[in-house]
């Protein structure tokens, strides 16, 4: 483990965040100001809940964070968080979310595959998850809403960014300081604000 990963891991433990990934989202918010009080946020691939904790703080008691993962998310005991154990590949997920919650303000996706060790396979699955997040965002995001999606850089990366640019008017790429230096991950941050 390199020094930078130790730092954020230790910091997460001290501050009560479930994962070092919390700092990635905090750094994204610091740069792009994606959250406001009273918003509704969907957090895809939310387990173990580090991003959900950050979003919950940012939207406040009158906001709502809907944490979704097919893996079990241990209860967070936060009044403004709903936890749903669902697979984001389920075709009915957008309809379900719209019927239950209406349109949302922010869609987060820190989804990643269970790493197989075969880079091209992991990259393909990760791109598929990122594309799925955009599809869900098209269905449930308000016109002015934000999306934050983890992407692995690789041979399908440029095509994915082109696809995002067809859906959103503003598309930015950002690698938070809390990401490991050697990691291929980068975050795509997008919205339809002109």
Question: Which residues line the annotated binding site?
Answer: 49, 51, 69, 87, 110
What is the rounded CA–CA span in Å between residue 93 and residue 86?
8
Query: What tokens does 153 get?
Result: 């850089």
Query: Which one of the listed residues 24, 150, 172, 193 is annotated catalytic?
Result: 150
CA angle (144 as vertex; 29, 134 as ends), nearest 5: 75
Active site residue 166: no
CA separation, residue 174 to residues 116, 152, 185 (Å) = 25, 12, 10
Q: Which residue has the tokens 């479930």?
A: 18
Residue bearing tokens 């595959």: 113
Residues annotated in a binding site for S-adenosyl-L-methionine: 49, 51, 69, 87, 110
Catalytic annotation, residues: 150
């Amino acid at each position: 483990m390199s020094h930078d990963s130790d730092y954020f891991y230790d910091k997460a433990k001290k501050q009560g965040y479930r994962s070092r990934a919390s700092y990635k989202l905090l750094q994204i918010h610091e740069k792009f100001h994606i959250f406001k009080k009273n918003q509704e946020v969907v957090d895809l691939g939310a387990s173990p809940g580090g991003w959900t904790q950050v979003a919950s703080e940012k939207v406040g008691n009158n906001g709502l964070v809907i944490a979704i993962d097919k893996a079990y998310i241990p209860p967070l005991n936060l009044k403004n968080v709903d936890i749903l154990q669902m697979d984001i590949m389920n075709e009915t997920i957008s309809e379900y979310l719209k019927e239950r919650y209406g349109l949302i303000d922010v869609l987060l996706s820190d989804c990643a595959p269970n790493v197989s060790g075969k880079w091209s396979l992991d990259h393909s699955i990760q791109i598929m998850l990122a594309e799925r997040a955009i599809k869900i965002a098209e269905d449930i995001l308000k016109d002015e809403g934000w999306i934050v999606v983890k992407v692995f850089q690789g041979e399908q990366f440029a095509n994915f960014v082109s696809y995002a640019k067809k859906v959103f008017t503003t598309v930015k790429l950002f690698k938070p300081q809390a990401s490991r230096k050697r990691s291929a991950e980068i975050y795509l941050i997008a919205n339809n604000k002109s």
